[in-house]
Structure 1
Amino acid sequence: MIDVYSAATPNGHKVHIMLEECGLPYRIHHINIGAGDQFKPEFLAISPNNKIPAIVDPQGPDGKPMSLFESGAILVYLASKTGKFLGRTDRERFTTLQWVMFQMGGVGPMLGQAHHFRVYAPEKIEYAVNRYTNETHRLYGVIDTQLSKNAYLAGDEYTIADIATFPWLRSWKNQGVDWSDFPHAKRWFDEISERSAVKRGVEVLANSSKPFDDKAKEILFGRTQYEKH
């Protein structure tokens, strides 16, 4: 039974979906990031960057418990553990990994900033809104072009690249995106949305998700985030 320390965020849902797709048994531990659970010593022991998700697998590669943080690393780990969704050849695996890195280095950070400055920032800074909204559109365009030539991001088969990217595009409206501009990405998004494991994965901890009040925003975006813990 894999212990999963998570919340209902795009990065959390990546791992929830992957576990559902692989059929691995897991136990969820809700980390209330709006209340500061991510700064508790017991969580920092497995996720030193104070970010969700993190997992503890009692049956690691050497038969001993192993903890992991960083959602992309967790996806690669689970794919390696189960032999699913990473590719069968070196070419397929490296192709998949490049699109996972694209999500981790571009899609997540840039779409997250667009969401922040469009929705959560206490003041609307036009430069920041335009900067990150434009970059979001550019990244959607990269995805759309890739999907105009392939069924999935890494080629003809569904992989962890799709699992990593899909949850971030669920907030397309808050990111200032019009799906009509990206028809191939929309086709892909709708198809993945209908997968049974994906439907189950995005429901994990969904009932625990609440709008951030001022205290939660201070914990997430203010002084508390930058204090030494």
Structure 2
Amino acid sequence: MSHGKQFTLYTHKRGPNGWKVAMILEELGMTYESIYLDFEKGEHKAPEHTKHNPNGRTPTIIDHKNNDYTLWESDAILLYLVERYDPEHKISVADAGEKFHQLQWLFFQASGQGPYFGEAVHSMRYHSEQLPSAQERYNNEVKRVFGVLESVLSKQEWLVGGKVTIADLSFTPWISRSYGFDLATEFPASADWNSKIRERTSAKKIQKMHDAVNAA
């Protein structure tokens, strides 16, 4: 089967993790086709997708130039992309010790930022009931995560390696949401860091794509 693009990306119009993968593909200059699964129709749980991703969530990639190599879980995808397609380490690190620090931040993003930020938004905007105790819990966790980032970014420009890497880029799509406090006031170093990432060509392109598909 011939593919015009190197990657197929199964994703969601609003889901931050899919946009995170798309941003790294843009950073690396890779060609890809995004397939936006309709969650309301259950397309993410349908056999056409679960044959690639048994977890039935997004994102999922297929690398057609690597024997249709298939991978899911967004931060695992980021690591695959830089290990295979970033030999010059433009957005990754080469030093063995720094690689573990990069991995440390990716684990923190996946286990700390993603779940709590997602639940914070759900409890405020989408839950069938307004539960102040749940909102308070998740908003406090959002602030805790920003506090961790702030403690490091107030002392250095980037999370690892003295340059922007996938460690930094993995956080940004989740920070586009409002959590009921002013980021620049409470966490100024984190706000500056996020703003610098959003000025990158890849981030600007992804934002335009995001706005376009969600306006349709």
User: Within 1, Cα distance between the matches of 2:79 and 2:124?
Assistant: 31
Q: State the shift of 1:205 in Å.
A: 4.7
> Which residue identity does 1:153 align to in structure 2?
L
* Paired letter, 2:190: A
Work out which of the residue numbers 123, 135, 141 in structure 1 matches 2:141: 135
In the other structure, the counterpart of 1:186 is: 191
The equivalences for 1:188-203 within 5 A come to 188-203=193-208
Q: Which residue of 1 aligns with 2:78?
A: 75
After superposing on structure 2, the runs of 4+ consecutive aligned residues of structure 1 that deviate more than 6 Å are none
* Aligned-partner Cα distance in 2 for 1:116–1:46: 27
Q: Deviations over 1:102-137 (max 9, x none)?
A: 000000001111111011111111111111011111
Mapping of 1:20-99 within 5 angstroms? 20-60=26-66, 64-83=67-86, 84=89, 85-99=91-105
Q: Distance in 2 between matches of 1:153 and 1:34?
A: 37
Distance 1:46 1:163 in 2: 25
Cα distance, 1:155 vs structure 2: 4.0
Aligned-partner Cα distance in 1 for 2:213–2:40: 11
Residue identity over aligned pairs, in percent, reads 34
Counterpart of 1:7 in structure 2 is 12
Give the conservation status (yes or no) of the 8 Å contact 2:93–2:161.
no
After superposition, the CA RMSD in angstroms is 1.5
Alpha-carbon distance, 1:146 to partner: 1.2
What stretches of structure 2 of length at least 5 have no aligned partner?
Answer: 1-5
Task: Determine helix, strand or coil for the equivalent of 1:4.
Answer: strand
TM-score by length of 2: 0.90
Kindly state the Cα deviation for residue 13 of structure 1 after the two structures are TM-superposed: 0.8
Matched, 1:101 2:107: yes
Matched, 1:124 2:127: no
Deviations 1:43-73 (A, max 9, x none): 011111111110000222xxx2210111011
Q: CA deviation at 1:203?
A: 3.1
For structure 1, the residue ranges without an aligned partner over 5 or more in a row are: 211-229
1: distance between equivalents of 2:203 and 2:162? 19
TM-score, length of structure 1 as denominator length: 0.85
Change (3 A) 1:11 1:33: same
Residues 52, 70 of structure 2: 8 Å contact kept: yes
What residue identity is the alignment partner of 2:208?
A: E
- Alpha-carbon distance in structure 1 between the residues aligned to 2:213 and 2:58: 15
Amino acid at match of 2:59: P
- Tell me how far apart the structure 1 counterparts of residues 191 and 161 of structure 2 sit (CA, whole Å): 17
